[in-house]
Every structure is written in C-alpha cells, then in structure tokens.
Structure 1
Amino acid sequence: MSERMKVDAGVCGFSFGKNISKLKYPVEEAVRSVLPLCDWFVYAAGESDDDTVERIERLKHADDLPIPPERFVIVQTTWPEVQIDGTVLAIEANKALDAAEEVAAREGLTWGFYIQGDEVIHEDDLPLIKGGMNHWAAKDRVKGLQFWYHHFVLDYDTVDPWMYHKACRVMRMGSKLQIFGDACGPGMPWYEGKKNDGYLDKHHMDEYVQWAAAPNERRRARVFHYGWVKSKADLDEKFQMVEKLWWGTLSEEEKERRKNNKFGQFIERYPILKKFTQSHPKLMQKWIENHERFATVPNRWLNPRFYAEVLRHGFHG
C-alpha cells in the first residue's frame, strides 16, 4: 500500500458518479488524490451504461492504495429521473454522504472529504489540508473547509477565471450538513440566518467556514477541476448530458439560453481565457500527455474581447 498521511481526527472520503467512462472523467485519479488523508472511503456508484462500476471495483482492490479494500465501501445506486437544475447530482451525492456519515459515526471520524469524479487534489497541498483538519477539528463551530479552484477548459493549459473561485470539500461529520444545488458543495439547512439557505460555498458565514489550512498558512489548498477539458466532440456529448440533467423538461430555446448563461461559449471565449503556468497533480501526467492544446491563440492582453469581458464581469485573474 502507498503511504497514508494520518489525520489525528480521522477522515472518511466520499464521492459518487455514473457513466464516468462516457464522460472521460479521471475518477481513479480523483479518488487517489484524497486517499492519503482518508481512513475510509465511500463511493456511490450509479447504475451505468459503461464500465463505471467495474472501474471503482478495480480501484478498491488495487494493491497500491493507502487503505485496505475493506475500508473502501461501494454503495450501488439507481439515479432517479430528475431533470431540472442538476438536482439529481445532489441526490446522489447525499447518498454517498449518508453512507460516509454512518462510517464516521461508527469509527469516530471527524471529517468527510468530498471529491467529485472530475476533481483532483495536488499532492503538494496534502500537508496543508492535513494541518487544517487537525487545527480546526476541536473548533466545533467550523463546519466546512474550503478550497481555491482552478477550472480547466478544453485543455490543460487554459483556465476560466470567471467561474466560481472557492467551494467546500471538507465537511464536519455529524453536523447534519447536506449537499446542495447541483452537488457543487455542502450547506447547512438548519442555519439560523438562512443566508443562501446556509450554502457553505457562498460565504464564510460567521465562523462556520475556514480555508483548508492552519491559520498561519498563507497558501490555499486547491481543487483542480478537469470536467471541461474536452475535444470538440466530447464537449458536445457532455453538453447533451448537462442539458438532460439540468433542463430536460424545458424547450430547446430555453435550454440554449440557460446553457449560454450558465456555461458561456467555451470555444468562442477560449482566446480570452487565462493560460495556466503552474504544475498539475502528478496523478494527471498521463492524461495531460495524451491531450493536445485545443488551439494556439494570441496573448489575451492583445484581444479587445478580453477587456470587454473584464468590463462586464470584472478582472478575476
């Protein structure tokens, strides 16, 4: 087994998914990236039209995991036919969360580490996250630890700085948290102020949310979000899935309007997006080697459309 970074308070990781191969998501890398911090892991595997369940089973029994297979729990689920606002994703994420809560209660674990199938944690950030988990474990008021986001678009060299910048991925178990919205992150339905329905990802909200690091750390732990790294054909296929899960009951005209509003026009906006110059997680090396840059474009600072975007939405990097 590979090395595990023991967290004093104990951690149960969890994730969910279906049709992962069709979506070309790096699910093994996603899970592996958090396992060094986990004592247990739960995966809610939805009934799929591809080999998703088989991939998770193989991962569970891999010889080099930092936890034994008996601590890797697979929960098989069937997704309901919910086709509005991505709600089905939260439903399935909460199935994984519920199973993780059961493990945490039985084993006396403090934290849950939520990771989606297209997200990977950088190995350089694991000590940072461990320090945050250990520091905030005794502060019961802290319910979630949040991460900084890099959203990659079309290739591994390009990020969209206008997507959301932070989200919680570490949650205090036993706090009656739920995954909200389209499964982007956890919230507190019992929050007394009801600000954003207690959505932890939106605001610090008193002292309920802290960064995934000890207070003396200046760096921020990061989530590398790769779900939109696609070829043109793969992007079209993903949009078909998104349209069904988010707007399956709406007219074609309304689907198109909402798609443009929520995701923008990735290909058209590609020339004004930011080039990424930092390192990627080592787990993603083969994926990066096998995916070419989408296009060669001039420096965005020479593009008038970039300044129009800044005027509309502000400069975010």
Structure 2
Amino acid sequence: MKVAGFTFIRNAVKNDYSIVEAICSILPICDEFVVAVGYSEDGTRKLIEDIDSPKIKIIDTVWEESLREGGAVFAVETNKAFSNISKDADWAFYIQGDECVHENDLPEIVKEMQDNLHDPRVEGLLFKYNHFYGSYDYTAESRRWYRREIRIVRRNLDVSSYRDAQGFRINGRKINVKLIDAYINHYGWVRPPHGLVKKGQNFETFYNPDAVVQEVPVTASFDYGNADVLKHFKGTHPAVMQNRIAKANWKFSIDPTKAKNNDSFRIKLLLKVYALTGIRVGEYKNYKIIK
C-alpha cells in the first residue's frame, strides 16, 4: 500500500500557519508528500525545504489572483498538488496548513486504509474534527462549521477539490466514504485577538474581490460570537504542536457557560436536539457515508 500526502500553502510565515506541524503530523505514514508552494513573500519555500525529508516534493505555483470569489483559488491549488502525486499511490492524504493529526491516531488511520484498500465501494475516508477556538484549551462547535470532512481519497479516481477546498467530489458527485475513528485537529481559530482579525481580513480577500485589508493594531479585539458551543479540551495535543503551544502568549478569558446566550429559539432547540441525540438537523454533508 502506497500513501501520498498532499497540501498547498502560501505566505505561511506572514500568516502564521502551522504548515510544518501539519505536514510532519502525517509524514510518518506517507511514502511521499506533495506540497504546492505558492509564490510567497516570506520564505515559505525554505520553511518546507527545512523539514528536510526525502519524501517531500515541492511544486512551485503562482496563485491566480483573478480567483477572488468563493475561495476558489484554494481548490485550484489543492488540485495542483493532487495532480502531482505519483500515479502508483493507492491513497492520497490531504491536510491543510492549519490542521494537524495526533500521533495516537496514526495506527488507526493506517489500519483503515489497509482494511478498505480492496473495497471499491470506499472512495474516501471521513474524519471527525476538533475545532480549537481562541486558545489551545478550548474547542468550539457551530452549526455553520463542518464536524466531519474527507481527508483521504483514492488516487486513481477522478477526484477534484470542491468549492473552497473544504472537501472533494468525483466528477461533481459526492464521494462514498467510510467514517473512521480519527480526528483532524483544526487550529485555524487559535490566535491572539488581533491575529484573528487579520486572518479574517486576509480570508475575505479570497471570497470577496472588493475586500480591503487594513492595518490591525495589536490591541484589537475579536468577536467570538460565531461559536455556538465552547468546551474545555481535556485531551492532549499532537507532539509536533508542543513547541508552538508553549509559545502562545495571550490570554483567552471567555467564560464557556456564557459564550453564547443570544441564539434564536430555533437555534437553541436544534442545539438541544444535537446535545441529546448527536443528530445535527439540516447538516450539510459533502459526502455519502457507507456502512
């Protein structure tokens, strides 16, 4: 069984992406790893080179600046990386620059790839998500966020990244996947308040062609109201994240019990149903789960 990792990145230093940690978290179970490195202003390419692994293959790209709506450029860059994976790879493991996999989950992931290698019904593997929020000590949930997503697909299928690179499709249709007992840790919301404001501005430029980036003072505050539920994280973080976590130098003082109290009655009811049953009514699913 041959496994290829793949990802894309640009201006990782400038935008404080944990891309090295992301790559290194799954590199041990990959036979090769394709990184599409967009033209950057901050030494991102050297950052990837310094991982110093013979498994890594860097593809230099130039982002299409005209793709400024709906985050489409993210899917284009993802597809560039995928297309450069060796043809003899069985599985392609995708990870984004603010994601990470715990080393304790790697054996289960390998087992699932092996167990499903010869089952053509399984076109991809679906992961659960931990969305860390504001701090490495808290996770958040929101009906607007995905709680599961495809991160492993078969290499030999006509797979393409979908919309803003959240998931994948095969010739436009949803992929048949198996839900596995492994997590993607998403750290995109773990930044100091002014960092989250800057991230929001930067992201907006890839979704709205009229967006304007403004200077953000270090004292800027951030509205954390887009989370429905905030929970204290009681688990452990991946080993590759420990140095970054140790350098965190801001305080996150949100009270989880008071983090969200202005939802409509409908949203409160839906959250209650989810808490009691685990069913998220009306959830958008970019995949089809097979048993």
| Superposition TM-score, scaled by structure 1 size | 0.77
CA-CA distance at 1:289 after TM superposition: 1.6
Q: Is 1:275 aligned with 2:232? A: yes
Aligned partner of residue 209 in structure 1, secondary structure: strand
Q: Give the equivalent residue in structure 2 for 1:157.
A: 137
Residues 1:232 and 1:138: Cα distance change in structure 2 (over 3 Å): same
Contact 1:180 1:199 in 2 (8 A): no
Q: Give the equivalent residue in structure 2 for 1:298.
A: 255
Distance of 1:267 and 1:130 partners within structure 2:
36
CA-CA distance at 1:296 after TM superposition: 2.6
Match for residue 78 of structure 2 among 88, 93, 108: 93
Match for residue 198 of structure 1 among 161, 167, 173: 173
Aligned partner of residue 179 in structure 1, secondary structure: strand
Distance of 2:251 and 2:183 partners within structure 1:
24
Unpaired runs of 5+ residues, structure 2, are 213-221, 276-291
Distance of 1:115 and 1:185 partners within structure 2:
11
Distance of 1:159 and 1:242 partners within structure 2:
21
Distance of 2:251 and 2:192 partners within structure 1:
7
Q: Give the equivalent residue in structure 1 for 2:154.
A: 172
Aligned partner of residue 157 in structure 2, secondary structure: coil
Match for residue 25 of structure 1 among 6, 9, 17: 17
CA-CA distance at 1:249 after TM superposition: 3.6
Unpaired runs of 5+ residues, structure 1, are 1-8, 190-196, 201-207, 213-219, 253-264
| Superposition TM-score, scaled by structure 2 size | 0.83
Percentage of identical aligned residues: 32
Contact 1:132 1:211 in 2 (8 A): no
Q: Give the equivalent residue in structure 2 for 1:40.
A: 32
Distance of 1:247 and 1:198 partners within structure 2:
26
CA-CA distance at 1:23 after TM superposition: 1.5
Which whole-Å deviations, capped at 9, do the CAs of 1:31-88 have from their partners, x for residues lacking one? 01111111111100000111111101111x2xxx5xxx2x321000000011000000
Q: Give the equivalent residue in structure 2 for 1:284.
A: 241
Partner AA of 1:94 in structure 2: N
Residues 1:230 and 1:289: Cα distance change in structure 2 (over 3 Å): same
CA-CA distance at 1:287 after TM superposition: 1.4
Match for residue 53 of structure 1 among 42, 45, 57: 45
Distance of 1:99 and 1:118 partners within structure 2:
22
Aligned partner of residue 135 in structure 2, secondary structure: coil
Query: Going by fraction, where is strand more abundant, 1 or 2?
Result: 2
Distance of 2:202 and 2:186 partners within structure 1:
18
In the TM superposition, 1:206-285 aligns within 5 A as: 208-212=176-180, 220-249=181-210, 266-268=223-225, 273-285=230-242
Aligned partner of residue 6 in structure 2, secondary structure: strand
Alignment: residue pair count: 263
Q: Please identify, of 155-164 and 40-49, the stretch whose mean Cα deviation from structure 2 is larger.
A: 155-164
Partner AA of 1:159 in structure 2: T
In the TM superposition, 1:123-162 aligns within 5 A as: 123-162=103-142
CA-CA distance at 1:294 after TM superposition: 3.8
CA RMSD in angstroms, aligned pairs only: 2.4
